[in-house]
Structure 1
Amino acid sequence: MDVVLPCLDEAAALPWVIGRVPAGWRPIVVDNGSTDDSARIAEGLGALVVAEPRRGFGSACHAGLLAATAEIVCFCDCDASLDPALLPHMVDAVREGRADLVVGRRRPTRGAAWPAHARLGNAAVAGMLRRRTGVRIRDIGPMRAARRTDLLGLGLTDRRSGYPLEMVVRAADAGWRIDEVDVPYFPRTGASKVTGTWRGTWTAVRDMSAVLREPAPPTRARSAGGER
């Protein structure tokens, strides 16, 4: 399996994160313009390092997806807030045909792990998602698993904070089975670049709202997982 880890100045968190990637899996660290030693540390820990100079969470995630070669690809934050060791359970649901996309629902271990403004923004977007697609997930979390070729087939175009939501919206439009599992959410290591600040949360909600305003594509056959 390949695990895409979008990275921007995460030198302090990388040893723990890469150390928690399951044995035999490949961590793909996408350096999104770090000014610390993130790339060097990741390479020294055995990760494949991909440089993506175009800033944006979606840019980093998609560069990792393009670099991946495994049948099933996972995504996880690189700030030690989420544990990659929990990914096999999510992958099993995809491999065994129980779901086409599995998303981790963040369950904070401490109040500081997920600030109130970030939780409110996430809840608002999840509500808009339900109205737009009917998919009843409660978190637009960054931890997820799906088949690589199917993800590429979604034609994802957002390169900012809306990328995780666009993945769910396009998957829903294509008729994928989307599942949600609880995952512990820890206080991140280092300073947050997005939802740890009011400005970052507002930017993320703005980007995601733009995704939801896009019209649904014409009805098409579901592609995930092939014939069943």
Structure 2
Amino acid sequence: MTDFSPPDLAVPVRADIVLPCLDEAAALPRVLARIPDGWRAVVVDNGSTDGSAEIARSLGATVVHEPRRGFGAACHAGLLAAEAEYVCFCDCDGSLDPALLPGLVRRVAAGEGDLLLGRRRPEGRGAWPLHARAGNLALARMLRVRTGLRLHDLGPMRAARREALLALDLTDRRSGYPLQMVVRASDAGLRVAEVDVPYLPRTGKSKVTGTWRGTWHAVRDMRAVLRQPPQRTPETARAEAVR
């Protein structure tokens, strides 16, 4: 783990930020106001009925419509719509600050890691419910057994090169998407690391981990990812051919 520190402003970086969105009208103005200058916000509307798409568009974001419901479906649609060399992911419920993302991207650009995850450090009452934290901890332990990665959090804030993520051929379109990204990155030999980021109480009601039931469904989806066999990458195929 690496502690988060202020980014070196002398190093210019640019990225597209994927923001999966389902009824986040209340949080969007504050979140989009925190997008770094020169970066593009890609808001992926996943069937909102509260005018989220219109608000995002009026505030200058690129809006992508993904009719298939699912966190993974929204994230992957954003990845496919991204054009910058670096791609970031961030919730758009106000719990995470997009202004911190240049620090993660600079670390990727500097070669400190290929996939940087934000390790959530809760600030404020109710920022991270106990049941959601417990589910995350259990998954982190299972991930360690499966990959050897000693991560503490599988949070939604992350940064990587776009081409590296596309090469992972991610297939999960539900809650298992973030975990599949980490598992396949590890299988492909990418370096996965985490940095501390503040985690605030979200604006509005959580659609996934706001209840024990939602957390259970998310854990179920992620456990299914962990049961998948390691992906056979081109590098693996070449090594097998040599043997």
Q: Shorter-normalised TM-score: what interval?
A: over 0.9
The partner residue of 2:202 within 188, 192, 195 is 188
| Counterpart-to-counterpart distance in 1, 2:218 and 2:176 | 7
Name which one, 1 or 2, has greater alpha-carbon Rg: 2
Equivalent residue number for residue 143 of structure 2: 129
Equivalent residue number for residue 11 of structure 2: none
TM, length-normalised to structure 1: 0.96
The partner residue of 1:101 within 115, 126, 136 is 115
Deviation per CA, 1:6-35, whole angstroms, max 9, x where unpaired?
Answer: 000000000010000101000000000000
1:52–1:60 CA contact under 8 A, matched in 2: yes
Give the drift of 1:218.
3.6
Structure 1, gaps ≥5 residues long = 223-228
Letter in 2 for 1:102: L
- Two-structure CA RMSD over aligned residues (Å): 1.0
SS of the equivalent of 1:157 reads: coil
Tell me whether 105-114 or 31-40 shows the greater mean CA deviation: 105-114
Size of the aligned set, in residue pairs, is: 222
Give the drift of 1:134.
0.3
Deviation per CA, 1:82-136, whole angstroms, max 9, x where unpaired?
Answer: 0000000000011111110000000000241100000000000000000000011
Give the drift of 1:219.
6.3
Give the drift of 1:41.
0.3
Give the drift of 1:220.
5.1
| Counterpart-to-counterpart distance in 2, 1:174 and 1:120 | 28
| Counterpart-to-counterpart distance in 2, 1:131 and 1:152 | 25
Deviation per CA, 1:159-198, whole angstroms, max 9, x where unpaired?
Answer: 0000000000000000111110000000000011011111
1:65–1:148 CA contact under 8 A, matched in 2: yes
The partner residue of 1:35 within 29, 42, 49 is 49
Letter in 2 for 1:62: H
The partner residue of 2:191 within 173, 177, 183 is 177
Q: Does 1:110 align with 2:124?
A: yes
SS of the equivalent of 2:197 reads: strand
| Counterpart-to-counterpart distance in 2, 1:38 and 1:146 | 26
| Counterpart-to-counterpart distance in 2, 1:75 and 1:42 | 16
Equivalent residue number for residue 53 of structure 1: 67
1:175–1:221 CA contact under 8 A, matched in 2: no
Letter in 1 for 2:95: S
Counting only pairs closer than 5 Å after superposition, residues 149-228 of structure 1 correspond to structure 2 as: 149-218=163-232, 221=235
Letter in 2 for 1:135: L
The partner residue of 2:81 within 67, 91, 109 is 67
Letter in 2 for 1:214: Q
| Counterpart-to-counterpart distance in 2, 1:126 and 1:132 | 10
Letter in 2 for 1:205: V
